[in-house]
Structure 1
Amino acid sequence: MDMINFEALFKISYGLYLVCSGDKNKGNGFVSNTVFQVTANPPQFAACCNKDNYTAEVIKKHGAFSVSVMDKNASAEMFGTFGYRSGKDFDKMANMDIKYGETGVPIVMNDCVSYMELRVVQTVDVGTHLMFIGELISAEIIDDTKEPLTYLYYREVKKGVAPKNAPTYVDKSKLIAKPAQLELKSYKCLACGYIYDEAVESIRFKDLPDDWICPVCGSEKSDFIEI
């Protein structure tokens, strides 16, 4: 078997979405980069969710889910809330601008370009994840002046990383080592512990713009220390 260069996987194009389900009493959601259209007639879309993700339970219970297309300039707080915290003991919908769809599922409007509401017609077990295939019930533009956020922009500009339960997560130890460079350093966010590793990233920490923020919690660049 030929050697696998996992860097090649980063060249696949993705968007970033908020996949949510539940009702007015209890809703939950997560950031996903694995949402795609599977048929045109009827219009059906698939969303993958880790089996350990609380949202998977909620979607199975309610049989419907929403997909909000994230804005290119979505705040770090949105990623911190929907990407790195569990909804089992935290209300992700609190302080959010929420619309409830025809099925009763919550639809997040904050920092999003458009949304879709879908009713689950099939669930496929793909090992670590469940693929929920939903038939489109409704869709609307939230703000057509905004630009959708891509996973490439999230990685290269916002310096975000996929959490371990994401379908596209790649263990850094599997990446092919890059040529050694002098004095490559690592910096740690004092607020959340996120590590900015110059050996992995394409930009030295000192060369990041002054308004750069932690991709996990939104802390300022000045809140990082060298480790």
Structure 2
Amino acid sequence: MNYSAFHKLSYGLYVIATELNGEKVGYIANTAFQITAEPSKIAISCHKNNHSAQKIIDSKKFSISVLKKEVDTSLIGKFGFMSGADIDKFQGVETIVAKTGAPIVVDSSVAWFDCKVLDYSDVGSHYLIIAEVVDGDKLSDEEPLTYAYYHAKYKMLSPKNAPTYIEKEKLGDEPEPIVYEEVTEEASDQTPGDDGIFSCNICGYQYDPEEGDPALGIPPGTPFEDLPDDWKCPLCNASKEDFTKV
């Protein structure tokens, strides 16, 4: 099988969120799709290891926030690369509620849907959760963020909990961005010392000196070694020491 064929399937990027017994939880998803028109139903795919998975099933509700193309990357880092078991992902994030009471993230979003869970299926590593859309709204005419644009801009493969994850070995010689890797002690001890592109060992984000990090006040042309010591990865908030040269 040519596994690179899967890369031709199209996806968006969304924040899925719910609330159970006063606890708000949420995660970044690339699999949310409409399955019927009348009544309007949507399905999502959630990894069983996600802190949100069982809470969505137990609460029987969730929201979908459609992220905008030029998303605030800190939102991706918080909801995509951190666990709700360790931090409050919603701190400093603007949310509203609609009919179900699920928190709806409106920061960096162009639209949202409020959903009532109807059923779910165990499909192996993930739950396939089917819900009826009970409310929704458009927030902006800006373009939505696509998975293809996200990968092209941040040069990343799918993380292991994503339903689209494919092992690098199965891709053969197919050119792809850097693979998401766990931090290792050996990698963390390396000290950057020259110009070039550096990759975050936590989430795979690549710092390109030619682009800099304007959102955090780093102008284009700034070498990695000249970044402030307290500079953090714009996606997952990892320290400068967690980067290695590509």
- TM-score band w.r.t. shorter chain: 0.7 to 0.9
Number of positions where the alignment pairs a residue of Structure 1 with one of Structure 2: 208
Aligned-residue offset at 1:61: 1.5
Aligned-residue offset at 1:158: 2.6
One-letter code of the match for 1:176? G
TM-score (norm 1): 0.81
Counterpart selection for 1:138 from 135, 139, 149:
135
Residue equivalent to 2:158: 162
Aligned-residue offset at 1:49: 0.2
Structure-2 change in CA distance of 1:208 and 1:217 (3 Å): farther
Question: Hey, which bits of structure 1, 4+ residues long, moved more than 6 A?
Answer: 218-221
TM-score (norm 2): 0.75
Structure 1's unaligned 5+ residue stretches are 180-184, 198-204
Between 1:35-44 and 1:210-219, the stretch displaced more is: 210-219
* Structure with more strand by fraction: 1
**After superposition, what is the alpha-carbon deviation per residue over 1:42-98, rounded to whole angstroms, capped at 9, x for unaligned?**
110000000111111110121010000001011221111110111112111111101
Structure-2 change in CA distance of 1:39 and 1:82 (3 Å): same
| Superposition CA RMSD, Å | 2.7
Residue equivalent to 1:188: 199
Greater RCO, CA 8 A, separation 6+: 1
Q: Would you say the 8 A contact 1:14–1:33 is kept in 2? A: yes
Structure-2 change in CA distance of 1:10 and 1:61 (3 Å): same
Aligned-residue offset at 1:27: 0.6
Aligned-residue offset at 1:162: 1.9
Aligned-residue offset at 1:9: 1.1
Aligned-residue offset at 1:211: 4.0
Residue equivalent to 2:180: none
Structure 2's unaligned 5+ residue stretches are 176-195, 216-232
Identity of aligned residues (%): 37
Counterpart selection for 1:153 from 149, 152, 157:
149
Whole-angstrom CA distance in 1 between matches of 2:157 and 2:171: 14
Residue equivalent to 1:226: 245
Aligned-residue offset at 1:125: 1.3
Aligned-residue offset at 1:5: 2.1
